[in-house]
Amino acid sequence: MSFPLNHRRTALAAAAFAAALLVPALSSCAGSDQKAGDGGASTGTSAPSGAAPKAANLTVLAASSLTDVFKTAGSAYEKAHPGTKITFSFAGSQELAAQVKQGSPADALVTADTKTMDGLKGETGEPAIIAKNRLVIATGEGNPFKIAALKDLADTKVKVVLAAPEVPVGRYSKQILDAQKIEVKPVSQEPNVRAVLSKVELGEADAGLVYKTDSAKSADKVETVEIPDEQNAVASYPAATLKQSKNAEAAAAFVTWLSSPEAQKILQDAGFQKA
């Protein structure tokens, strides 16, 4: 069937007009798709799974009993993660918890007990136990009072120093003494385990209950009396990121690393037990 010439011209003109309208529309869609693709690329600039976190300056709050081993661990981590700098702040766990609640700037927290960490659930990520420890009796060099067991600490002639009850090691000390029905009247109650050890080292006390790792570190200044497992307490060390951290990715990487074979070897070489 044939159309008159003017009808064919009209149809061709309409088709050309429709095509002209279609080209910008297609260009607009292509541009929109490209921008969406660009946006996806820009929002996906975080390191891919398994990649090293960005370098950062991290502040880690840690229990006093971790002072020596964390200095070694921190150096090892910095060496394996160039550009990352870790600054540790050591104190009694209860002091660290107070700092967190007050909003002190920090990225991660490691305490010497789960109770303190559990009290900060709204402030931390999910904690993981990275190490364990046990108590021992630290005595003056040569053990002049011949202390051989917990019951010997009840002798009023022996000047005993303990950590305060709100301190993890002080709570553990009370727990094991109470379990054995041993009454000890300490000459002082200290804010952390290092302060207890220092009193014994300086001769200001004849004996004190401290962590095994602390006593071992001062083997040239104090004597260590082991406490049987059935009379002892196990101290667990949980580590967690802090929600207030401005370096969340780097903080999480460090906390995860603390459970790695490399970090565990450092901790166990220092006398800590496997988590």
Provide the pLDDT for residue 29: 39
- Between 78 and 12, residue with greater pLDDT: 78
As given in the structure block, the two tokens for residue 50 are 């398994």
Provide the pLDDT for residue 31: 40
* Residue-range domains of the chain with CATH: 57-132+236-269 (3.40.190.10), 133-234 (3.40.190.10)
End-to-end CA distance of the chain: 90
pLDDT (average), residues 12-40: 40
Dump pLDDT digits (tens) for 97-123: 999 999 999 999 999 999 999 999 999
In the three-class reduction of DSSP (H, G, I as helix; E, B as strand; rest coil), residue 45 is classed as: coil
- Between 54 and 134, residue with greater pLDDT: 134
pTM: 0.79
H/E element holding 41?
A: helix 5-43
Provide the pLDDT for residue 54: 73
Beta bridge pairs of residue 235: 133
Total Cβ atoms within 10 A of residue 175: 12
Provide the pLDDT for residue 45: 31
Dump pLDDT digits (tens) for 208-259: 999 999 999 999 999 999 999 999 999 999 999 999 999 999 999 999 999 9
- Asked if 238 and 114 touch (Cβ cutoff 8 Å), the reply is yes
CA atoms within 13 A on the CB side of 247: 20
What torsion do the CA atoms of 71, 76, 82, 85 make, to the nearest 10 degrees?
-10
